[in-house]
């Protein structure tokens, strides 16, 4: 067996290791972006209750069933529930977080386009669950 070469195996091992490092680095970067809330993000308290959503901005403005935000600004949602488990979802912005009684879950997003988007509950929360919807209005910055 003097003519046998191990180079193909070493190349294969090197390619596999390089792919694993690349996938790991991409996953780490994605996780860092999801967890990193911008320091200037406005906090909006989101309360789920059968069968509607309420929102409270930092300045005390409250909204029921609809949420108005500005394009290009970061928002951090602090999501809670008053009664049963709900799941806060803005499908167009891939925002999905559980609303659990007695617990505050957070998620953030920064809308990029002016428009109207659906907000809905993604957790079966009771008989009229299908009607637990809201509207997100992304508007041009006021100043």
pLDDT tens-digit map of 26-72: 999 988 887 889 999 999 999 999 999 999 999 999 999 999 999 99
Q: What percent of the chain has pLDDT over 90?
A: 88
Q: How confident is the model at residue 1 (pLDDT cuts 50, 70, 90)?
A: low
Give every CB contact of residue 128 below 8 A, 6+ residues apart in sequence: 50, 51
Alpha helices (H) along the chain = 7-35
138 secondary structure, DSSP code: E
Task: Sketch the domain layout of the chain as residue ranges.
Answer: 1-36, 42-139
**What pLDDT is recorded for position 89?**
97
Range 42-139 has CATH code 2.60.40.420: yes
Dihedral (CA of 36, 42, 43, 47) sign: negative
């Amino acid at each position: 067996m003097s003519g046998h070469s191990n180079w193909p195996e070493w190349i294969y091992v090197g390619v596999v290791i390089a792919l694993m490092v690349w996938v790991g680095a991409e996953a780490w970067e994605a996780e860092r972006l999801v967890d990193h809330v911008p320091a200037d993000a406005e906090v909006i308290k989101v309360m789920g209750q059968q069968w509607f959503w309420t929102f409270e901005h930092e300045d005390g403005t409250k909204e029921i069933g609809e949420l108005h935000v500005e394009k290009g600004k970061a928002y951090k949602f602090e999501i809670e529930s008053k009664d049963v488990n709900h799941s806060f979802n803005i499908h167009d912005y891939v925002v999905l977080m559980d609303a659990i009684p007695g617990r505050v879950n957070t998620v953030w997003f920064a809308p990029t386009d002016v428009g109207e988007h659906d907000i809905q509950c993604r957790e079966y929360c009771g008989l009229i669950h299908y009607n637990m919807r809201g509207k997100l209005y992304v508007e041009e910055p006021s100043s």
